[in-house]
Structure 1
């Protein structure tokens, strides 16, 4: 009677065994005999300094490489190589000359053309990438995050604010374009309605004139018929003799 309360044993998950094949050794390494002289020579050679590997040396790159665009170039200094670029820029101790200006105003962006706004958008995008690269270099250098926030926070905020205003100006132009298209369509429909109404009035007047002409012809024909009938009756009527 307690058999219904017994649980079935869990099924073990299958274990996959992987077989590894042995490596085939060459004839020289198949059988090796221990040689103490060779071992001593090996230990002696390990005490000598190993030559510097070429992989640890810096590889010369092109001075016009695209990755240099992620670093700010130093102005007014006669430097060579990587010293031309400010790797750890954007810190709080930065002098006044290197500090960036304010964000773009919407009133200023409204005066720009589409090409200027497109160019300015990618300039700000490059500035954001440059600031992100500098922040990563500062982090790798072990500088406190507070210093990064104080130095690069305002610049990032100004870039985001300028890009947001560019999007707002572009949206204003898009809405103005859609409004102009809708207004042009309404004017086109109104012009078409006026043309259709004018055509209908012309056709109505033409039909009314034709109907009036037809009625006049019909009345004239009836009058002519009455006149002919009267003349015929007068000819048939006998003449009366006077007393």
Structure 2
């Protein structure tokens, strides 16, 4: 996936990227920061923790490291809550330093500005290796496609790939099945996408599917739970 990438400012003032060849943004035009908080923090991590108090460490798998926004927000969440997190993400096409160094996420929320040093640390961490980034956050990023990735057991899935119309192979049932097989009983799958075929496939793969209010600018999103083994 080659093509020119440029920085754009979304409606909440936070940056996103626009991939000119795909004609697709990395986050919602209506607010990159608000979208990540809504889909992956509130309806993701917070929801999982509400059902699984004191079940640590939390193991997270993300499809699409991208700008690093979801990873960074999760690190901040882990440090603020003093909850250990093991985070694994994949990204076959990393963005260059000249791009990520200009992103304004660390200035966007002054309440968490003191975590700014970790944003660059996540981007400069070696690919295909793992290790601690902060006291409560252990991190591994692999430069690989989902098809070729080695996955690990996880509690929470952040499915943040480009839209099905842009990267259909990532949303095929076979790809979803690979991810769901790694989810532990009680695991949570969350994504901004509300496509009917996605929800049908998730149900066919044994998940309990919820259609929830979407982030600003989007009517709906999808969350699904892996039924606990009896």
- TM-score class, shorter: under 0.3
Greater relative contact order (Cα 8 A, min sep 6): structure 1 or 2? 2
Q: TM-score, normalised by structure 1?
A: 0.18
Greater helix fraction, Structure 1 or Structure 2:
1
What TM-score, normalized by structure 2, do the two folds share? 0.19
Which structure: greater strand fraction?
Answer: 2
Pair member with larger Rg: 1
